[in-house]
């Protein structure tokens, strides 16, 4: 750079950069020093060009998708298509995962195109999957995963990329066809509409971790994004490097095109014009990330080269300044290209000044125009427009919560270990566990049903001895079926019997307080509260399917309880360290355990390595935590390491609890056969509500997939009036990772509370930074502070011990799991260090520490600490014990780990349905819990959010006993908060924070009091779900078996869009679509509701009629919704709301629309 300046260059272009760990004033960054300071930082977008690859399935369905894998070989004609899997063990071996294709036999893939799924980056996945398939003699590979944007050639080996939604569609085709085929054609070039522009997945995001008040990147270049780089053969670039070339050319246009003294355009002025003359449209909303959500303002947005070349006149910011057009982030009195608002504490005002220079006509008047932030009023006061003017910007914050400074903690459940003792049955050689699902039971005699199951197996196996060896469970209460050890051939023979609906390979499911209820407004303080009106849930029995219960916890005391309801048919089973006659009481009225499915699947448990109880007793505490969150009794003065102190209780503290242990420490999983048996028993026993804090891996398995067992059992429970509440999963923040997606299940996402645990970090210069930790203390006095050479948290062990001994160590990580924190703590402790400060993106993953401080900060604060270390010869730090901070200014956020939509299996079904607190929830646990303290622990996950909603469902069921499960679900979804309870916006945490949308939190944050009085409900009965099964291509025979009666689907088949859900999700709008909804009045008899529409951007929504009038005879009314799009390109999802209001009740449903001008088209672009 020094030589270039000397040589007289006019413009410098650098397609290189440092990682965000090192700041521009850091000794590692020479670029900023040489550039000082007029640097245009360039992010990357896609072009309006794609390379669609046609894929034709054997059912003649054609899928078009632009992909990162560009296939240039000859057409591959119709060829066998396979999804390799190990029946009965899929979740253990993951044989259909791209990275593990090698475990399949060559015969499985030889001569075929192979479908596989991945959650890993495509760089390694593509080469591995292609190599495995090629080596086995395969002819091609279809990879289903997350968007990538990076184009890599496949040359003559067909390698095709799709998203989870299309991948699941292909998987369902494979499983619905006896001989699946596929044809793959070479990639083609498509330019212009309907290809949309998006911010590239790989492009780094703000906010600026080094100087938070300076907006970066400066501009997003459409002229160079994803552009070709001509070097003989065409090659494709895929990074910000190509964007730098494009912006360099634009800056040259500005300098060359200006009609007078070019020297006027110093670096800052050229930069101002590039940023200012961004192209707002396509429409502005069509500039999008490649994930589900709307793009936030990408600094300067998209550059329009012609506009800039033609407008080398007009208003420019000065050398290093620009008046931000968004004014969405404002700092104080800094001459900067963009400004950023950082607030703490109460509402306040700040004044911002910037200088602009007039470079057009001498006599010119400019009026200020701005796009306002969500809640921040902005007053802009320009002075007289002379050659130079200094407008001032007054910004007043109305927010009273921190919307980004505090981080919360999340403790992952430990992997479960189990020991079941001796005497368990070894699995038959060559056999796996299958569930033979027969649908609705034909009569009510359990013994006769069991006998019929034995007869069916006897006809296959030939002897009663073989039947007894094979059968694991007989499902005979809620529905009919059995689990048995079968070979693949035997399973196939059974599946061909006319009375069999499905033969389902067994699968394994994953397990996914003091402040919670006050935060949600569910307080026992007044007699008019929902808690009192519902009598604490005393009339309700809730079934909890989980890891069991620790019955000695005081949260299960039955003081004040009356007799057990006569309708209860369950029992309390005895077993290892669990006496049914002692450990159950009038509150904990039932306890059973189910393990035969897991043992038949994986063999006997190893008692030495996996301690467990062969009984309903909970070993690791997960199930105890869940059930006590639902219905634990009042217990005062409880805390966790002194934090979060208060009265702990469940959401429905009077509810009766029935525990069904179907999840075990062995393999950290729940066998599908065991879970299905638990649901069957719970239906028989007489539970009113079912809570399942577990879920299967998605998108590999779906509710219409032969592996999904939870939704099968849940269907029969809901058909009998039992609401089923289940976890969304902990695979966020990636899109399309939601589990439990059946429309009859109430699926729960996780948010933070308005509670945090600030931990003071005081530097030697007397600056105090508040990080987040669960550190009990005592305070660590001033100690040496170090940032070692290997500063990644995962690599601290590579440093010499002496660099960390007796010191507090700062490290950085980009990982979102708990592993880096564990690695850092272990490395520093082993080296004799005194503590660790971990700088990272928000994850809500923080390990509780009793006397070893482990404090989390974000990159911005971590960089501040790094600055301090490098600015002093003897850096020191003091770390105080963590404190509890409740309510303002702590903001509510969707937790990073919470799985996100859209639903990859049934895209027109919105999931999740609702969100609830699931971070740092304090509840009872097992005394074996390694993170427990005095029988209590703080846990995080959608497993913890699920029982919060289950407790609320208990109260609603108690208050409205005749409401259907769908009515209860509707009441919860339509009354949810779109802000936190104090009115502050809810953000969704991830690699970049954004305002939450329906794919993050469904209808919003659960609002118990409002849900008790929804006004209107979107009700459904079993018939509605049958129409959904018809739309999902179930056969008449299969549906008839499920229902136990003859059923014929209508012709033409119904649309999933007409399912009477409390949401509207249109995944493929081309021109227009009309759908129907029906609402039932559950409020005052004489009510008039008028519609209010907040349409998604670029979408028109028309409702007919616009007024609904209810009276004593008219309690149910239907309306139509016509949805049209103004977009002319394929877009991502945009969100809106449709609300019916009578000025008392506001019945709001989320509206999510994706325009697909080119249908069945997956655009990686």
pLDDT tens readout for residues 143-191: 888 765 555 666 678 888 888 888 888 888 888 888 999 998 887 877 7
- Is residue 617 within 8 A of residue 588, CB to CB? The reply is no
Identify the helix (H) or strand (E) that includes residue 1099. strand 1099-1104
Per-residue model confidence (pLDDT) at position 462? 84
Phi and psi angles of residue 948, each rounded to the nearest 5 degrees, phi first: -60, -45
DSSP, res 549:
B
CA neighbours within 13 Å on the CB side: how many for 918? 34
How many other C-beta atoms lie within 10 A of the C-beta of residue 2?
A: 8
Span 432-490, pLDDT tens digits: 888 888 888 877 888 888 888 998 999 888 888 888 889 998 888 878 889 999 988 89
Per-residue model confidence (pLDDT) at position 514? 52
Residue 193 clears pLDDT 70, i.e. is over it: no
- Is residue 582 within 8 A of residue 656, CB to CB? The reply is no
DSSP, res 196:
P
DSSP string of 956-972, one letter each residue? HHHH-TT--HHHHHHHH
Residue 965 clears pLDDT 70, i.e. is over it: yes
Report the pLDDT averaged over residues 318-330.
Answer: 33
At 242, list the tokens. Answer: 């190509």
Q: How far is the C-alpha of 1014 from the C-alpha of 1089, rounded, in Å?
A: 13
Hey, what's the torsion of the CAs at 1056, 1062, 1068, 1070, to 10 degrees?
100
Strand order in the sheet with 42-44: 42-44, 219-221, 302-303, 278-279
Per-residue model confidence (pLDDT) at position 334? 32
Q: Which residues are catalytic?
A: 546, 622, 943
At 1073, list the tokens. Answer: 């679509």
Query: 631: pLDDT confidence band, cut at 50, 70 and 90?
Result: very high
CATH classification of 68-186, choosing from 3.30.1440.10, 3.50.30.30, 3.75.10.10, 3.30.530.20?
A: 3.50.30.30
At 693, list the tokens. Answer: 């804090």
- Is residue 50 within 8 A of residue 285, CB to CB? The reply is no
Q: How far is the C-alpha of 867 from the C-alpha of 861, rounded, in Å?
A: 10
Using alpha carbons only, what angle is made at residue 198 by residues 194 and 200, rounded to the nearest 5 degrees?
135
Per-residue model confidence (pLDDT) at position 745? 95
Give 303's contacts (C-beta < 8 A, 6+ positions apart): 219, 220, 221, 222, 223, 246, 247, 250, 274, 277, 278, 279
Q: Taking the mean position of all CA atoms in its chain, how far away is CA 131?
A: 31
Q: Helix, strand, or coil here: 1067? A: strand
Phi and psi angles of residue 286, each rounded to the nearest 5 degrees, phi first: -85, -5
Ramachandran class of 148: left when φ > 0, alpha when ψ lies in -120 to 50, beta otherwise = alpha
CA neighbours within 13 Å on the CB side: how many for 221? 27
Whether the CA torsion 899, 904, 906, 910 is positive or negative: it is: positive
Q: How far is the C-alpha of 879 from the C-alpha of 877, rounded, in Å?
A: 7
Q: How far is the C-alpha of 213 from the C-alpha of 330, rounded, in Å?
A: 7
End-to-end alpha-carbon separation of the chain, Å? 34
Q: Please check whether the two domains, 68-186 and 758-883, share a CATH topology.
A: yes
Give 746's contacts (C-beta < 8 A, 6+ positions apart): 723, 724, 725, 726, 913, 914, 949, 953, 965, 968, 969, 972
Of the two residues 88 and 156, the one the predictor is more confident about is 156
Top-ranked range on mean pLDDT: pick from 43-52, 74-83, 188-197, 374-383: 74-83
Q: How far is the C-alpha of 664 from the C-alpha of 868, rounded, in Å?
A: 48
Q: How far is the C-alpha of 734 from the C-alpha of 898, rounded, in Å?
A: 9
Q: Helix, strand, or coil here: 1094? A: strand
The model scores a pTM over 0.75: yes
Q: Taking the mean position of all CA atoms in its chain, how far away is CA 398?
A: 29
Per-residue model confidence (pLDDT) at position 1147? 97
Superfamily the domain 506-703+902-958+1004-1012 falls into: Peptidase S8/S53 domain (3.40.50.200)
DSSP string of 821-872, one letter each residue? HHHHHHHHHHTT--EEEEE-S-------BSSS-EEEE-HHHHHHHHHHHHH-
CATH 3.50.50.60 holds for 1060-1165: no
Report the pLDDT averaged over residues 575-600.
Answer: 94
At 117, list the tokens. Answer: 């799924």
Mean pLDDT value across the chain = 78
Identify the helix (H) or strand (E) that includes residue 695. strand 694-695
Q: How far is the C-alpha of 946 from the C-alpha of 964, rounded, in Å?
A: 19
Per-residue model confidence (pLDDT) at position 656? 97
Phi and psi angles of residue 95, each rounded to the nearest 5 degrees, phi first: -70, -15
Span 1069-1092, pLDDT tens digits: 988 999 999 999 999 999 999 999
Q: Where do the DSSP E strands lie in 359-446? A: 378-381, 388-389, 392-396, 432-439
Alpha carbon of 40 to those of 206, 252, 275: distances in Å? Answer: 14, 13, 9
Span 377-401, pLDDT tens digits: 545 455 444 455 666 666 666 555 5
Identify the helix (H) or strand (E) that includes residue 479. none
Q: Helix, strand, or coil here: 686? A: coil
CATH class as words, domain 432-505: alpha beta
Break the chain into its structural domains and give their ranges: 2-46+195-342+348-396, 68-186, 432-505, 506-703+902-958+1004-1012, 758-883, 1020-1057, 1060-1165
Q: How far is the C-alpha of 439 from the C-alpha of 500, rounded, in Å?
A: 8
Span 705-718, pLDDT tens digits: 444 678 889 999 99
Per-residue model confidence (pLDDT) at position 874? 93
- Is residue 1152 within 8 A of residue 1096, CB to CB? The reply is yes
Q: How far is the C-alpha of 475 from the C-alpha of 679, rounded, in Å?
A: 9
How many other C-beta atoms lie within 10 A of the C-beta of residue 373?
A: 18
Q: Helix, strand, or coil here: 413? A: coil
DSSP, res 890:
B
Q: Where are the alpha helices (DSSP H) in 564-671?
A: 580-583, 596-602, 622-631
Top-ranked range on mean pLDDT: pick from 69-78, 323-332, 642-651, 894-903: 894-903
Query: 34: pLDDT confidence band, cut at 50, 70 and 90?
Result: low
CATH architecture of 758-883: 3-Layer(bba) Sandwich (3.50)
Report the pLDDT averaged over residues 685-696.
Answer: 92
Alpha carbon of 575 to those of 420, 591, 612, 682, 1119: distances in Å? Answer: 11, 10, 12, 19, 56
Q: How far is the C-alpha of 848 from the C-alpha of 748, rounded, in Å?
A: 25
- Is residue 679 within 8 A of residue 690, CB to CB? The reply is yes
Q: Where do the DSSP E strands lie in 487-587? A: 502-505, 508-511, 541-546
Report the pLDDT averaged over residues 202-214.
Answer: 68
């Amino acid at each position: 750079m020094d030589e270039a300046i000397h040589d007289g260059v006019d413009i410098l272009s650098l397609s290189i950069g440092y990682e965000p760990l090192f700041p521009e004033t850091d000794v590692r960054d020479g670029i900023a020093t040489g550039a000082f300071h007029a640097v245009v930082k360039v992010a990357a977008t896609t072009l309006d060009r794609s390379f669609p690859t046609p894929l034709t399935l054997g059912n003649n369905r054609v899928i078009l998708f632009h992909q990162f894998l560009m296939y240039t070989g000859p057409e591959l004609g119709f060829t066998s298509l396979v999804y390799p899997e190990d029946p009965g063990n899929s979740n253990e071996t993951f044989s259909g995962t791209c990275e593990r294709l090698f475990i399949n036999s060559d015969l499985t893939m030889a001569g075929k195109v192979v479908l596989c799924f991945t959650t890993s980056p495509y760089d390694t996945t593509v080469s591995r999957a292609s190599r495995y398939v090629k080596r086995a003699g395969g002819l091609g590979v279809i990879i289903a995963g997350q968007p990538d944007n990076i184009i890599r050639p496949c040359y003559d080996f067909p390698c095709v990329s799709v998203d989870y939604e299309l991948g699941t569609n292909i998987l369902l085709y494979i499983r619905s066809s006896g001989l699946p085929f596929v044809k793959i054609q070479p990639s083609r070039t498509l330019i212009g509409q309907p290809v949309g522009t998006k911010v590239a997945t790989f492009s780094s995001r703000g906010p600026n971790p080094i100087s938070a008040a300076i907006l970066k990147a400066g501009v997003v270049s459409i002229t160079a994004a994803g552009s070709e780089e001509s070097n003989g053969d065409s090659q494709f670039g895929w990074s910000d490097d190509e964007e730098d070339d494009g912006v360099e050319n634009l800056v040259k246009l500005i300098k060359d095109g200006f009609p007078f003294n070019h020297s006027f355009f110093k670096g800052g002025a050229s930069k101002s014009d590039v940023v200012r003359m961004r192209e707002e449209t396509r429409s502005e909303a069509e500039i999008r990330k490649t994930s589900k959500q709307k793009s936030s303002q990408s600094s300067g947005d998209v550059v329009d080269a012609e506009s800039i070349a033609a407008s080398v006149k007009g208003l420019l910011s000065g050398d290093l300044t620009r008046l931000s057009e968004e004014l969405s982030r404002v700092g104080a009195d800094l001459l900067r290209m963009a400004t950023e608002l950082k607030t703490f504490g109460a509402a306040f005002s700040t004044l911002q000044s910037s200088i602009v220079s007039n470079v057009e006509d001498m006599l010119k008047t400019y009026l200020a125009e701005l796009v306002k932030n969500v809640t921040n009023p902005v007053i802009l006061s320009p002075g007289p427009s002379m050659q130079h003017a200094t407008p001032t910007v007054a910004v007043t914050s109305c927010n009273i919560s921190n919307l980004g400074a505090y981080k919360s903690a999340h403790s992952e459940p430990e992997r479960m270990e189990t020991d079941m003792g001796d005497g368990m049955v070894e699995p038959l050689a060559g056999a796996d566990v299958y569930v033979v699902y027969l649908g609705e039971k034909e009569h009510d005699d359990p013994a006769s049903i069991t006998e019929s199951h034995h007869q069916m197996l006897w006809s296959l196996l030939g002897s009663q001895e073989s039947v007894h060896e094979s059968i694991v469970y007989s499902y005979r209460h809620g529905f009919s079926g059995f689990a048995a050890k079968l070979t693949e051939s035997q399973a196939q023979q059974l599946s061909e019997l006319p009375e069999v609906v499905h033969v389902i390979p067994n699968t394994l499911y994953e397990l996914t307080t003091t402040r919670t209820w006050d935060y949600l407004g569910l307080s026992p303080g007044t007699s008019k509260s929902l808690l009192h009106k519902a009598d604490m849930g005393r009339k309700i029995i809730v079934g909890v399917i989980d890891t069991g219960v620790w019955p000695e916890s005081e949260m299960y005391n039955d003081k004040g309880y009356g007799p057990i309801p006569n309708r209860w048919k369950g029992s309390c089973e005895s077993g290892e360290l669990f006496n049914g006659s002692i450990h159950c009481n009038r509150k904990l009225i039932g306890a059973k355990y189910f393990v035969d499915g897991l043992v038949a699947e994986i063999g006997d448990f190893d008692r030495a390595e996996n301690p467990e109880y062969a009984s309903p007793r909970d070993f690791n505490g997960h199930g105890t935590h869940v059930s006590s969150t639902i219905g634990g009794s009042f217990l005062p003065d409880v805390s966790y390491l002194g934090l979060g102190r208060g009265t702990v209780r469940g959401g429905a503290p009077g509810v009766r609890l029935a525990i069904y242990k179907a999840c075990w420490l062995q393999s950290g999983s729940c066998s599908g056969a065991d879970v299905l048996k638990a649901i069957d028993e719970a239906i028989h026993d007489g539970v009113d509500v079912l809570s399942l804090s577990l879920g299967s891996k998605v998108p590999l398995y779906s509710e219409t997939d032969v592996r999904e067992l939870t939704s099968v059992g849940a269907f029969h429970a809901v058909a009998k009036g039992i609401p089923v509440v289940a976890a969304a999963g902990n695979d966020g923040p990636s899109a399309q990772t939601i589990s439990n997606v059946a429309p009859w299940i109430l699926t729960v996402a996780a948010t933070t509370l308005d509670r945090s645990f600030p931990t003071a970090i005081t530097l030697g210069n007397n600056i105090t930074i508040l990080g987040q930790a669960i550190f009990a203390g005592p305070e660590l006095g001033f100690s040496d502070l170090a940032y070692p050479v290997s500063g990644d948290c995962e690599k601290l062990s590579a440093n010499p011990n002496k660099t960390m001994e007796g010191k507090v160590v700062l490290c950085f990580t980009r990982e979102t799991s708990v592993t880096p924190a564990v690695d850092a703590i272990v490395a520093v402790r082993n080296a004799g260090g005194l503590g660790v400060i971990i700088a990272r993106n928000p994850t809500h993953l923080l390990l509780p520490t009793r006397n070893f401080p482990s404090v989390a900060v974000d990159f911005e604060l971590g960089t501040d600490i790094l600055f301090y270390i490098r600015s002093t010869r003897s850096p020191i730090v003091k770390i105080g014990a963590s404190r509890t901070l409740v309510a303002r200014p702590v903001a509510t956020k969707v937790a990073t780990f919470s799985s996100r939509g859209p639903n990859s299996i049934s895209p027109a079904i919105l999931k999740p349905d609702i969100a609830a607190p699931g971070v740092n929830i304090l509840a009872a646990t097992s005394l074996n819990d390694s993170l427990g303290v005095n029988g209590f622990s703080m846990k995080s996950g959608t497993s913890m959010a699920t029982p919060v909603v289950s407790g609320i469902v208990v109260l609603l069921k108690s208050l409205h006993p005749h409401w259907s499960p769908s009515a209860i679900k509707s009441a919860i979804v339509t009354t949810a908060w779109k802000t936190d309870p104090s009115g502050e916006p809810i953000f969704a945490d991830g690699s970049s924070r954004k305002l939450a949308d329906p794919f993050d939190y469904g209808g919003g944050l659960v609002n118990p009091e409002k849900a008790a009085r929804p006004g209107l409900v979107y009700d459904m009965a079993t018939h509605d779900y049958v129409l959904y099964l018809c739309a999902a291509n179930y056969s008449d025979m299969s549906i008839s078996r499920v229902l136990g009666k003859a059923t014929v689907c209508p012709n033409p088949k119904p649309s999933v869009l007409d399912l009477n859900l409390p949401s509207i999700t249109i995944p493929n709008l081309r021109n227009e679509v009309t759908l129907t909804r029906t609402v039932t009045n559950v409020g005052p008899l004489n009510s008039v509701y008028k519609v209010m529409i907040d349409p998604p951007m670029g979408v028109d929504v028309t409702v007919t009629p616009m007024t609904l009038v209810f009276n004593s005879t008219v309690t149910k009314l239907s309306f139509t919704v016509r949805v049209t799009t103004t977009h002319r390109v394929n877009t991502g999802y945009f969100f809106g709301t449709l609300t019916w209001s009578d000025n008392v009740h506001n019945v709001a449903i989320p509206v999510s629309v994706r325009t697909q001008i080119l249908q069945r088209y997956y655009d990686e672009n």
